[in-house]
Amino acid sequence: MKMSGKVFKRLLCVPALLVLLVAACPAFAQEPNATPPPPAVPRSPQIPKPVERTLANGLRVIVVERKNVPLVTAAIYIKNGGEVDPPQLAGLADMTASLLTKGTDKHSAPEIAEAIEALGGTIESGAGWDRSSANVNVMSARFVQALAILAEVVRRPVFKDEEIERLRQQYLDDLQVALGDPGQIARFVAARVVFGDMPYGHPLSGTPESIARIKRDDIVKLHATYYRPDNAILVVGGDIAPATVFNLAARLFGDWRKPATPLSKPGASAVRNVESYRKQRVIVIDKPDAGQAAVYVTRLGLNRNDPDYYRGLVANSVLSGYSGRLNQEIRIKRGLSYGAASALDVRRDTGPFVASAQTKNQSGAQVAGLLLGELGRLATGALPESELTPRKAVLIGNFARNLETSSGLVAQVGALALYGISLDEINRYINSVQGVTAADVHRFAGSRLAAQGASIVIVGNAKEFLPELQKQYPSVEVLPVAELDLNSATLRKPKV
């Protein structure tokens, strides 16, 4: 379209006018270094009190009724996950849980998918370290049908050979991609460094060798051993009356028989002899074709019932996130990475703490030093309220957002139930976070995150950073990626 000269001139004037308006209006004209407003006082989310019953067979049923949206989430949690994988069968628990929706004695995988789709819902299953689970999300008017499907897939999966082989290939494809990524390799190696041959040491999703070894009999045995009503929790949240759920649970799960033999306490041996794993190690996995280096600093962290739990959450929040110290120092200030972060992975037994970043190969040693340096500074340096308060606000905001959906609410309540924590804890979260002081963070960092007890893992092109790293750590262990064996606590393939 051809514009007239007058129209064209008028269009040219618009940007100039906007610039003048922005410059003249204090609401738009911000000083370059203006101090952001402080976080608002957090409001406690309104969480209905959970109601629960235990069926005669031992199944614990928990209901949180919330009527604001006509949606319901139901989740079955089994109190065991990857920590019960047998030696040399890493990934068995995750594979078993993932197969739940792939066919039962009544319906095939496509039929299950079609039934859930017809209800306008979703169904998922999988495993973590301390739990295996399956869940459905659906409109409350169709909850009865959805819960019947959930009960069927958890209680009566058939583990067809063709579904096992299809899933096995998916795992192998995913692992092939992961084992070409320096970040994923570093994560796997870091777990072995912290936990050795203990259950948390192997990859949750297995290794190519362990996935190839898993047989149908292994899957059937794990399901028969751990998927039992006295080892399960049903959590339902959303627009549904507790009485309705209890009646449905009795009808759909009441005849689920528990074996005569009691189950041993879950996760009791996930971490043992931890003192032998407190020695600092510095390990380099030499991957010459790596375009960048993945740098991990790791050590033992916390379990969910640790008295330091909330202090740990706040300390990690100071370190992690876009505005956290790690990212500010490594990305914003120095431009050495697209992002640096940390994670405190709390589990039934002691989980890992990890601080990590990916950087160009030449700066691998420098970034390792910066990660360790920030751990030390958190223990001894200043932590003003102007920094601490926003980091606590991040935790509280994320917590509140998670509770806005029925699935988030069920996940929070389910986690408390799995770890044997009072369900009232969900209403104490905000005050517990708010109560953590700078002195608490200093003490926690000094005793639980000390750099002296942390190990370093770097995966990348070693010739680019190894000389610099050896100046600080002469005894660094170097392992070519071709010799790496994630099935072994030594990380080394046996010599032929």
DSSP assignment of 86-135: PTT-TTHHHHHHHTTTSBBSS-BHHHHHHHHHHTT-EEEEEE-SS-EEEE
The residue among 215, 207, 143 whose CA lies nearest residue 175 is 207
pLDDT at residue number 265: 67
3-state helix, strand, coil in the chain (%, to 5): 50, 15, 35
- pLDDT tens digits, residue range 25-50? 433 334 445 455 666 555 666 788 99
13's tokens? 């004037």
pLDDT of residue 46: 72
The dihedral of CA 219, 225, 227, 232: what is its sign?
Answer: negative
The model's pLDDT over 145-194, given as tens digits with 9 standing for 90+, comes to: 999 999 999 999 999 999 999 999 999 999 999 999 999 999 999 999 99
Low-confidence residues of the chain: pLDDT under 70: 1-45, 265-278
Structure confidence at residue 274 (pLDDT)? 55
pLDDT of residue 16: 43
pLDDT tens-digit series, residues 92-134:
999 999 999 999 999 999 999 999 999 999 999 999 999 999 9
Residues 258 and 230: beta-carbon distance below 8 Å: yes
What tokens does 489 get? 């606590």
Structure tokens at 403: 């509770």
Distance CA 71, CA 131 (A): 24
Q: Which domains does the chain have, with CATH numbers?
A: 51-253 (3.30.830.10), 276-483 (3.30.830.10)
What is the four-CA torsion angle of 362, 368, 369, 374, rounded to 10 degrees?
130
Cβ partners under 8 Å of residue 219, min gap 6: 92, 95, 96, 99, 159, 164
Determine the Cα–Cα distance for residues 373 and 185; give it in Å rounded to an integer. 24
CA distance 486 to 188: 7
Residue 278: per-residue pLDDT: 61
What is the β-pairing status of strands 455-460 and 282-286?
parallel
Distance CA 302, CA 274 (A): 12
- pLDDT for res 9: 39
Neighbours of 285 (CB within 10 A): 25
Residue 410's pLDDT is what?
98
Residue 368 and residue 325 in contact, taking contact as beta carbons nearer than 8 Å: no
Q: What is the pLDDT of residue 276?
A: 53
Question: What pLDDT is recorded for position 31?
Answer: 43
Helices (H) and strands (E) in the chain, counts: 17, 12
Q: CA–CA separation, 190 vs 356, rounded Å?
A: 11
d(CA 423, CA 428): 10
Residue written as token pair 């959970």: 50
Measured distance CA(363)–CA(295) in Å, rounded: 10
Per-residue pLDDT at 495: 84
Asked if 356 contacts 341 with a C-beta cutoff of 8 angstroms, the reply is yes
